[in-house]
Structure 1
Amino acid sequence: LGIIVGITFVLGLIAAAYSSADSALTSLTTSFCIDFLNIGKKPEADQKRIRKRTHVWMSGLLIVVVIIFKYVLDRNVIDGLLTVATYTYGPLLGLFSFGIFTKYQVKDNYVWVVALVSVLSIVGLANLPQAYLGGYAVGYELLPINGLITFIGLYLIRVRKTNISTA
């Protein structure tokens, strides 16, 4: 029973990995074609060719990213992805939370500045020596801190008074 369970488990892991990689590749291809290449505005004959080429290029890009994680980073891929997510999803978390929990409008021209300041603050916090933090090593908790910094920044650039016309 042990070997059969082991083989079944490994096959399940492989199937899940392929399914996940395929979904990610399809999502990247679709997003790039629609958002950046405006594929919907091109002739039907060109759409298929563009989509297939983009799929091949995205496959290559995914391979390059995996190789970079393997040889450049000194940790595993999951840890690397979570670390990158700490920096990239923090501002998204703050923007989402601000939009859901407040009714304020913000000065749109400054939102990117808030996001950049938030990320740079987190980079600074992540690189602080542990001695400055009483021996504490920061990790994935930087994500909610990043979101909080973004939320506070958005609060600081809110529009004080708005007259919304219903006419």
Structure 2
Amino acid sequence: MTDATFEDGREAPLNLGALDADDLKVVASLVQDAIFPTTEMTWQPAHHRFALLLNRFRWEDKGTAERRGREFERVQSVLVFDSVLSVASQGIDRGDKDTILSLLDVEFMPTDDGAGQVLLTLAGDGAIRLNVEALDVTLKDVTRPYRAPSGKAPQHPD
């Protein structure tokens, strides 16, 4: 008899929260290289909420896929920021409904009172800045994983 491995565990959809900068680093690593059309960004000022419906590369599964010789996967996920006071963007043409954006990083720059700014860095010099009253982020998978259309893991030049 051998010990159980991580790969033997039950796979379940992600449902994570981030309430501080360290938590957000975990979420940021999981949404790196997520893609989404401009039409899947929603700002709800009355609810102080900004949300994205992402097609997220499953970084948490990459090693298992490589070891088992199976295809890489993506999954649709909702990334929600609550306690948002305002939203600003640059390098994004919201009028072009066919534009697909690629999320590279998510960072939190706190101020003294726990408020701060969340910066979502996009490929191609685009960015979204959220002014937040407090850091309150949720990442939740909402579909079953599917084969990554490219069949490859995203790569970044050194």
State the TM-score, normalizing by the size of structure 2.
0.23
Larger radius of gyration between Structure 1 and Structure 2: 1
State the TM-score, normalizing by the size of structure 1.
0.22
